[in-house]
Structure 1
Amino acid sequence: MRWIHAAGRCLLVLTVVLSGYMASGASADGTHGTGRGPVTLATAGDLTGYLRPLLQGWNRTHPGEKVTLVELPDSPDETHAQMVTDLRDGDRGRFDVLNIDVAWTSEFAAAGWLAPLDRSRFPLSSFLPPVVGTATYDNKLYAVPYVTNAGLLLYRKDILAKEGLPPPRSWAELEHDAKTIAPKYGLDGYAGQFLPYEGLTVNAAEAVYSAGGTILGNEGERVTVNSRAAREGIGFLARGVREGWIPKAALSYTEQESKQAFQDGHLLFLRNWPYSYVEASAKGSAVAGKVGAVPLPGPAGRGASVLGGSNLAVNTRARHPDSAARLIAYLTGEHAQRLVLTRGALPPVRADLYQDPALIRRFPYLPTLRASVLAALPRPKSPHYGQVSLVVQAVVHDAMTGRTTPSAAVRRLARELAAISRQ
């Protein structure tokens, strides 16, 4: 399974739908008033098949609360649309526990669709600290982190070794190597996810954050994008296309296309999620054994990644809220989180797994990913996040294609985001 935060294909959405409801109010295991009973878990894009064995373990130990697996579309936009349609339904609806993109927590909570959760029921202190912030809104816990993610800079370590160079530690070094070294080996310089979709929102936010800027503040009530840092960040991306070290083909890349270009040996540098490191390093890849990964660079040193991943939340209309919470606790426990990594190739939220020697031998990028997650920032929080993301995508794409300047793009962002915040 690949989680696409902000990035199309990697997105994981789990939904618990209650079945076997008893009109008398008794749960399937004979208890009364406990909120327990059978559940149905819907997921988008379980590409590695890790989830069914994980749920079988739950079913063996919870016979009165069995989970049936249902899948939603792979596309994050389609998944979001189906969830919103269901949550707006005046009836009880199908969805009881939602595993939502981390950027949707504020939107769904502000709409009144998510039930506040009791912090004491979940191992929040065992998680990497930044991920907990993605599950809160208005200082309340509305979800529990399940999968995290942070962007990494993948690079061809064989080529940099031939040149006697370390991986880039700043934008200047990245630009220099992408412009001068990549052409010597018949490669394009650098790519990310630059198609106008959620992935571009992530890449743009990372550029702005790395330059020291922000986009929104106060849960979306304040627009902060009109800054030198935002102009510098968007200018970095636009300059890359204009000068050619970002290939024009990258303007149509999602996670999958950009990963494939790197995996096929066409790129020197790639910004992507950790799963791309795993696949590029796997047997059969043209660059297997030649891939390195470091945190994203910024203008004068280490940059900032955007936090990706998914959060588990309970619908306010859930019939069996206790079973919903118990399932969430199970999926965020140590055993399940280990399987998330080893069978699902997804970054877990539990901190101790990133320092497990056996796991590091198997997944050598874990220390780099841990550092990236600890320094990562959430996407702009807003009750109108969908609209915010659409504006960012459109405006930044215009800047990258040369339809507008970075300065004009920032001014337009400020105007359009202000209009959204006033809704």
Structure 2
Amino acid sequence: MRWVHTAGRGLLVLAVILSGYVASGARADEAALTGRGPLTLATAGDLTGYLGPLLEGWNRTHPGERVTLVELPDSADETRAQMATDLKDGDRNRFDVLNIDVNWTSEFAAAGWVRALPPDRFPLDAFLPPVVDTATYDGRLYAVPYVTNAGLLLYRKDVLDAEGVPPPRTWAELERAARTVAPKYGLDGYAGQFLPYEGLTVNVAEAVYSAGGSILGGEGTRVTVNSAAAREGIAFLARGVREGWIPKESLTYKEEESKEAFRNGRLLFLRNWPYAYVAASEASSPVAGKIGAVPLPGPDGPGTSVLGGSNLAVSAHARHPDSAARLITYLTSEPVQRQVLTQGALPPVRSALYEDPDLIRDFPYLPTLRASVLAAAPRPKSPRYDQVSLVVQAVVDDAMTGHESPSSAVRRLARELAAVSAR
């Protein structure tokens, strides 16, 4: 994802999307959000424990619409599997509102598991523009952005300052520092999330997008990965492992393992989500006060991050759809979104919070994160996203471990993704 969006362009895109909704009028399934009563909210494990108190605030003021929180496993793959199993049960499903990973929206919408929503029920114009696109499928709104995320490049500021080296803006600058500066300080050069799981798909998409390429187009109906840009992005990752400035150990890293490697002072550079910056800044961290964060680099300048985060969707079989919509409005309100950041350390979707001086003082990465989100792009949209991701993981793992050349890997990706799209 080469970041070509600007804030103005993002607002224009959002305006076009919303005008399309208005022009078409509310469709029957979008307007049928009637009925109030108790709700169940399903989410992946709440690692920071912030969500329970937020829902207690709702329950105090909405006693007839009390929410029961159901926490599913921490693993995204396991959470998705449990949600899918429940949603397939139709009228017997347990969940009314679902906190879903942004890349599940298309799959859940195409399967008919979640409702199309009327855009005018929600404060979409107050959100960072790119996050709204993650909640749409086939031109309709099927979820509401709740938290967002973008990958950042974390770096050892003390080490780069000692060497008189600025934080990298390009891949060449990153490689040079990872090869020459890191060993002088007993550090590994660069790591991301390179175990074959969803995190590898994210890192690959960022590399391909940063080089100006793409993986899928047309809501997953076209395979676009067979390009020079994709070869360049995958070659960047494979070359790093081959030359050693990406440590082989990082081929076993997920978010937590890579965060700990950086937090414990073993890496010069790390691609991760902002929560890793917060963890490395804690008083107990050996690198507290010694780190910085910049946008991900690309071949010729700042690269492109994949949008992370989660969206709130209403089950197609929700018992009380109006209450579900009202809960979503509450969870995306300004006061609650502020708490999402301050209590949960999760990036909010409301644009104004990124310009709040008090929040910037406590979370100094916010301006960098805002720029990254505004320039970010979603993962490939597809109703078969789980299969798309598995193909990307398997093929690129072979390239990074030296079992396949980047050129061969791109050709294989094109073939296997075409087979997925044809199913």
Q: Same fold (TM over 0.5)?
A: yes
Q: CA deviation at 1:45?
A: 2.1
Q: CA deviation at 1:353?
A: 0.2
**Equivalent-residue separation in structure 1 for 2:53 and 2:309 (angstroms):** 21
Matches within 5 A, 1:126-165: 126-165=126-165
- 2:14 maps to what in 1? none
- 2:357 maps to what in 1? 357
Matches within 5 A, 1:258-337: 258-337=258-337
**Equivalent-residue separation in structure 2 for 1:287 and 1:313 (angstroms):** 39
- 2:254 maps to what in 1? 254
The answer to whether the aligner puts 1:202 opposite 2:202 as a matched pair is yes
Cα deviation, 1:173-196, whole Å, max 9, x if unaligned, reads 000000000000000000000000
The answer to whether the aligner puts 1:113 opposite 2:113 as a matched pair is yes
Task: Please tell me whether the aligned partners of residues 296 and 304 of structure 2 are also in contact (alpha carbons under 8 angstroms).
Answer: yes
Q: Which runs of 4+ in 1 moved over 6 A?
A: none
Q: CA deviation at 1:61?
A: 1.0
* Segment drifting more, 89-98 vs 243-252: 89-98
The answer to whether the aligner puts 1:167 opposite 2:167 as a matched pair is yes
TM superposition score normalised by structure 1: 0.92
Cα deviation, 1:268-321, whole Å, max 9, x if unaligned, reads 000000000000011110100001000000000000000000000011111100
- 1:5 maps to what in 2? none
Amino acid at match of 1:96: D
- 1:227 maps to what in 2? 227
Q: CA deviation at 1:40?
A: 2.2
Cα deviation, 1:3-36, whole Å, max 9, x if unaligned, reads xxxxxxxxxxxxxxxxxxxxxxxxxxxxxx9410
Aligned with 1:181: secondary structure?
helix
The answer to whether the aligner puts 1:407 opposite 2:414 as a matched pair is no
- 5+ residue gaps, structure 1: 1-32
The answer to whether the aligner puts 1:62 opposite 2:62 as a matched pair is yes
**Equivalent-residue separation in structure 1 for 2:283 and 2:232 (angstroms):** 39
Task: Please tell me whether the aligned partners of residues 41 and 96 of structure 2 are also in contact (alpha carbons under 8 angstroms).
Answer: no
What is the percentage of aligned positions where both structures have the same residue?
Answer: 79
- 2:71 maps to what in 1? 71
TM superposition score normalised by structure 2: 0.92
Matches within 5 A, 1:364-403: 364-403=364-403
Cα deviation, 1:148-175, whole Å, max 9, x if unaligned, reads 0000000000000000111001000000
Cα deviation, 1:355-401, whole Å, max 9, x if unaligned, reads 00000000000000000000000000000000000000000110000
Q: CA deviation at 1:42?
A: 2.9
Cα deviation, 1:251-274, whole Å, max 9, x if unaligned, reads 000000000000000000000000
- 1:16 maps to what in 2? none
Cα deviation, 1:30-55, whole Å, max 9, x if unaligned, reads xxx94100112233221211111111
**Equivalent-residue separation in structure 1 for 2:194 and 2:218 (angstroms):** 28
**Equivalent-residue separation in structure 1 for 2:263 and 2:226 (angstroms):** 37
Distance 1:99 1:295, change over 3 A: same
Aligned with 1:260: secondary structure?
helix
**Equivalent-residue separation in structure 1 for 2:42 and 2:406 (angstroms):** 41
- 1:217 maps to what in 2? 217
**Equivalent-residue separation in structure 2 for 1:311 and 1:349 (angstroms):** 10
Task: Please tell me whether the aligned partners of residues 40 and 94 of structure 2 are also in contact (alpha carbons under 8 angstroms).
Answer: no
CA RMSD of aligned residues (A): 0.9
**Equivalent-residue separation in structure 1 for 2:294 and 2:140 (angstroms):** 34
**Equivalent-residue separation in structure 2 for 1:325 and 1:381 (angstroms):** 24
Q: CA deviation at 1:96?
A: 1.5
* Segment drifting more, 64-73 vs 329-338: 64-73
Amino acid at match of 2:143: A
How many pairs are equivalent? 391
Higher helix share: 2
Amino acid at match of 1:371: A
Aligned with 1:343: secondary structure?
helix
**Equivalent-residue separation in structure 1 for 2:407 and 2:169 (angstroms):** 26
Cα deviation, 1:61-119, whole Å, max 9, x if unaligned, reads 11100112221110111101001111111443111111110000000101111110010
Aligned with 2:309: secondary structure?
strand
Aligned with 2:92: secondary structure?
coil
- 5+ residue gaps, structure 2: 1-32
Distance 1:395 1:34, change over 3 A: closer
The answer to whether the aligner puts 1:85 opposite 2:107 as a matched pair is no
**Equivalent-residue separation in structure 1 for 2:81 and 2:153 (angstroms):** 31
**Equivalent-residue separation in structure 2 for 1:171 and 1:243 (angstroms):** 14
**Equivalent-residue separation in structure 2 for 1:175 and 1:75 (angstroms):** 32
Amino acid at match of 2:301: G
**Equivalent-residue separation in structure 2 for 1:55 and 1:82 (angstroms):** 22
